Structure 1
Amino acid sequence: MPLMGPLIRTRAILEDVEDRSLAAFGVRSRGAKRAYAENVADVRTHFQHDWNRVLHCRAFRKLEYKTQVLPYGLGSDFVRNRLTHTLEVSQIAVGVARALGLNEDLAQAISLAHDLGHPPFGHKGEDELHAICGHFNHNEHSLRIVTEIEKRYPSFPGLNLTTDVLEGIEKHETDYDRIGSYRFNPNLGPSLEALVANFADTIAYRAHDIEDGLESRIVQEDDFRGVAFWRRIEPELAKDMRPSLRLARITRRAIGAMVEDIVRETARRLEEAAVKGLADVRAARKSLVGWSFAMAKEQKELGGLLMDRFYLSDKVKEACGVGSKVIRALYLRYLKEPNLLPEMEREKLETAGEKERELVVAHWIAGMTDRYALRDYERIFGEKIVLPGAGW
């Protein structure tokens, strides 16, 4: 029986609210398409359904034990993992979308799903999988998870998300994430909500990598002194502030400065391009969401410093190098001895060609957490791996 009553906001009412409150260039959920028709509950919009489904799926929960920069178990308990990063991206994306009159639920759904396909041990783990099987991209795998791998419904594979969300996942691009070819609207640009999710990702990891680098003591405040972005936020840092409060202030100011710049610059670009609706967004030759010239320059400089002093630091490289060793060893052993795999994966191998066999194994490993990979390595090889730096 459908929910009805004067105090109940049905989907139709919520869609009317969207029509009244969103900017002309925001994506409406009314009429959103899914690959499989279904009768969804009518007290949520289609995009609300989407982010709810992502939040409850198994792949999302596994992000807690996947590396962001520092592998699981290294540093203090306060450094980010892939789950906390994802939640921060979502919060930032929703805030920016709200400020610009965009669809917050669409931005949230894309943000929550954007890293589902990350393998264990972060980008180093992805690089290793790509090297050993010929091709692996975590954006593509995120899409594969929500369209094929997740099994939560009897009548269709995956989560049956709307095409707007699937397109946003596929077209998620930052300095480190690119696919290159698209299945969804390949000749059109992404929605503003998807672009906002892209930049929210960058804002989140730039801010929290400063904090995590300092928290882990791999980088020091003095390392940032010559960086223009640091000089932008440093005047508001009280010298006598307790270290924990100082770290929080650094992160807060970093996020605030980047968000304010994105909102102002995006509004300027939309006005300059005379964007009237979604068609104008899709046809735009240049990105309508982005940094101001000054902030873009500062972010490039900051990104370079974080790369040199944090991501490529000896401590991080050593720890992630062990993760690469684990991934390669598991991959080769699974191919040689498929009986070590779960029954469902063995069944896939039985009907797969040679190249497909490699991908089956790669996709199985990509679904592992850092913790699971280390435990399976110990189970198979009888060797307990202790990551360098445990207990920093």
Structure 2
Amino acid sequence: MTVRERIEAQEYKNLSPFASKSRDAVRAKQEEVCNFRTAFQRDRDRIIHSKAFRRLKHKTQVYISPGDHYRMRMTHSLEVAQISRTIARGLMLNEDLTEAIALGHDVGHTPFGHSGEYALREIIGHYHHNEQSLRIVEHLERNGAGLNLTLEVKDGIVNHTGDNQPFTLEGNIVRIGDRIAYLCHDYDDGIRAGMIKPDDLPPIVAAVLGVKPSDMITAMVSDMITASEGKTQITMSEEIRAAMNELRKFMFSAIYHSADLEPDRKKAAYVIHKLYEYYMSNPGALPQEFLDREERWGLQTTVVDYIAGLTDLFAVNLFEKLFIPSKWVIPK
């Protein structure tokens, strides 16, 4: 018996009957199995080693060009993975599947976070980062070959937000775990930035969840485990759900739609618009690997893929290179 087979057997023995089992995972393309890692472990590793995941360390979470201690997309993804794995373990569900979905859920985010996402949506009419995340793992990574992830992981990635629910309980954990992570950690960053204070929280939030990010996370995570125990759905108690919804309303009002951040949001959108216009008019300026894709995907999709993949700083530097005059130095 290989190590992988032993792990697969342990899953059937130890995990909940509602858990997804690695042995049953489905891939679009059949491939040779690994003797040591299950299908979901391999998916997790492929995501971590992908270029798209590495770029998340330089992509905005909320604050554009923040200091060292503010969250970026990578730290957010790691925090979602930690929160979601805790819930999965408490419910005896598949931690490896949960972790893979959590780590891959935001790889389709644009530079400048949601500001970049909204800008691309305004330009082309339809752009959602969860759909781009799926596109990246299916078609763009590995020089266009994709990562050949399991159906379970891809479903969790594309349905971590939006109208459709993931078909696995693990995917549903990440869907809620993502919200817990960004609300609590963006609240923490908001305090650090001086935009909000704990006293600003709605009374129901402070009373039910607490005022410290760690207490908030503990309250929601423990409630999810208790409320979902032995059930075929991931849920929360009405009290905790109501408090979380109030926290979300507060965060949108105080942080996400804050007038203080509006100037940077507009600047970010302007950069995205100008880069799109430039490459649509000058496709030959795209890197060769993207030019190679144009025949298959068309110019607009290729340009969007390129811009969406940029990090914040690279996008700013590119904008300066293309549109800001260089200093003229008098020759000696």
Is the shorter-chain TM-score for this pair beyond 0.5, marking a shared fold? Answer: yes
Q: In 2, Cα distance between the equivalents of 1:48 and 1:202?
A: 24
| Residue of 88, 93, 106 corresponding to 1:97 | 88
- The question of whether the paired residues in 2 share the 8 Å contact of 1:377 and 1:383 is answered with no
Q: Give the Cα separation in 1 of the matches to 2:176 and 2:82.
A: 12
Question: 1:45 aligned to 2:22?
Answer: no
For residues 140 and 111 of structure 1, the distance between their equivalents in structure 2, rounded to whole angstroms, comes to: 15
- The within-5 A match list for 1:226-305 is 226-234=202-210, 250-267=212-229, 270=231, 281=232, 288-305=233-250
The answer (yes or no) to whether the contact 2:183–2:248 under 8 Å persists in 1 is: yes
Q: Which residue of structure 1 aligns with residue 58 of structure 2?
A: 65
**Alignment of structure 1 residues 12-161 onto 2, 5 Å:** 12-71=5-64, 73-74=65-66, 76-151=67-142, 157-161=145-149
Match of 1:388 in 2: none
Indicate if the aligned counterparts of 1:265 and 1:290 stay in contact, CA closer than 8 A: yes
Using CA pairs under 8 Å that are at least 6 residues apart, name the structure with larger relative contact order, 1 or 2.
Answer: 1
21 and 222 in structure 1: CA distance in 2 versus 1, 3 angstrom threshold? same
**Equivalent position amino acid for 1:312 in 2:** H
How far off its partner does 1:157 sit? 1.1
Does the 8 Å contact 2:209/2:240 carry over to 1? no
Distance 2:43 2:167 in 1: 18
CA offset digits 1:153-212 (Å, max 9, x no partner): xxx811111111111112212xxxx166xxxxxxx9611000001111011011101100
Given that residues 155 and 166 in structure 2 are in contact (C-alpha distance below 8 angstroms), is that contact kept between their aligned partners in structure 1?
no
Q: Of residues 163, 170, 176 in structure 2, which corresponds to 1:199? A: 176
Tell me if structure 2 keeps the 8 A contact 1:64–1:81.
Answer: yes
Tell me how far apart the structure 1 counterparts of residues 223 and 324 of structure 2 sit (CA, whole Å): 52
- Quote the Cα distance in structure 1 between the aligned partners of 2:147 and 2:292: 22
- For residue 212 of structure 1, what is the amino acid of its counterpart? D
Uncovered stretches (5+) of structure 1, i.e. residues with no partner: 181-187, 238-249, 271-280, 282-287, 385-392
How far the C-alpha of 1:346 sits from its partner, in A, is: 2.7
TM-score (norm 2): 0.93
Q: Which amino acid aligns with 1:51?
A: R
CA deviation after TM superposition for structure 1 residue 57, in Å: 0.6
Shift, 1:10, TM fit: 1.1
Aligned length: 326
Letter in 1 for 2:227: E
CA drift at 1:352: 6.3
Separation (CA, whole Å) in 2 of partners of 1:302 and 1:189: 24
Which segments of 5 or more consecutive residues in structure 2 lack a partner in the other structure?
327-332
The CA deviation string for residues 124-181 of structure 1, in whole angstroms up to 9 with x for no partner, is: 11111011012111111111111110017xxx811111111111112212xxxx166x
Structure 2 CA distance for aligned equivalents of residues 330 and 227 of structure 1 = 44
* 4+ long deviations beyond 6 Å: none
Please list the CA deviations of residues 313-353 of structure 1 after superposition, one character each: whole Å capped at 9, or x if unmatched: 1222221221111000000011111122112223433x368
SS at match of 1:33: coil
Of 150, 157, 161, which aligns to 1:169? 157
Kept after mapping to 1: 8 A contact 2:276/2:303: yes
Could you give the per-residue CA deviations for residues 2-51 of structure 1, whole angstroms, max 9, x where no partner exists?
Answer: xx8xxxx6111111111111000001001322122222321111111110
Q: Percent identity?
A: 37
- TM-superposition CA deviations, 1:218-276 (whole Å, max 9, x none): 1122211x331222354xx7xxxxxxxxxxxx1211110110111111127x1xxxxxx
Matched residues in 1 for 2:107 and 2:152: separation? 17
Q: Quick check: 1:359 aligned with 2:298?
A: no
Give the aligned residue type for 1:361: V
CA contact (8 A) 1:86 1:111 kept: yes
Whether the 8 Å CA contact 1:102–1:193 is kept in 2: the answer is yes
